Structure 1
Amino acid sequence: MLDQNYSKTEAGREEIKSRSLPLSRSARNLLLVMDASKPARQWLALVQGVGEQDLALLLEKGLVAAQAGGVRATARAPEPAAELPAPKAEAPNPPAGADVARLYSELYAYLTAQAPRQLGLMKGYVFTLELEQCQDLPALRKLAADLLVRVQQAKGPAAAQELREGMVAWLD
């Protein structure tokens, strides 16, 4: 159980917004930060005061679910860029409903994993809270573009370009 990667379910994302379940502070904190980028053991070590019982509660309530594999990443080397090309706001022919849900889920998982890596733990946590507010794919794409700007300001254009290449399938 502790070596498995977990991510929030739709019910978990809804619980973050509604706060309707009587979760302990530690369980709620774990729910806020947990994504599929690390195994549960690492998340339990990172979030102070969290134990296996908190993870078990999140699983029991259906707020997190085990993931079969890691988060999608690209192996391409970044190309230096003076200016980052702006992502398209919406594809000319939006995909069908199931495809939109899949794209949303994939981009959500990618951004959740990248935020702490690119912005650090605290700014990544704040970004994750913003991510939870995105209701649809266009809002998620807009926040992804904002992440690119933040990374470019913090780490430079090469880091932003590398991040953009990792999410190009969801933005173009």
Structure 2
Amino acid sequence: MTTTHAESYARTEAGKAEIRAHSIKLSRPARNLLMVIDASCSGDAWIGKVNGSTQADLDVLIAARLVAPQAGSGPKTVHQRVAVEVAVRDWTYDALYTLLTHEAKERFGLIKGYRLILKIEGCSDLAGMQAVALDFVEQIRKAHGEESASRFRKQLGATE
């Protein structure tokens, strides 16, 4: 029976320590997954992004307590993320660039806003800009709360 990982996961303190220490024998795909996983995507999405990784690799990381589910990453959060993914498909590169650049300055101030603008500037195509938009929603949620993130999702055209 295959387990799915629709919720998002992030490294635990033990996972961060394992990255430095290499004390647990992990397969290359499992170690790669540990290196990149964060709460910005579901476990299933990370498995799809990390070449060669499988559900079993994520299960190993969970069992070893190197990663853990993140609060608020259940079905509602997954649904909201999918809604944003659908909404940003209707945006052009230039429109997303303009919106995200403006919002980064307004919402995050000089230093964090500058870092986000560097991510925006690093996008060379629409798919990259759409990925930044998804991350941007999560950054708003972390910094300003769910209500602010919800308003921004609606600004993007997402239905919740």
TM-score by length of 2: 0.49
More helix by share: 2
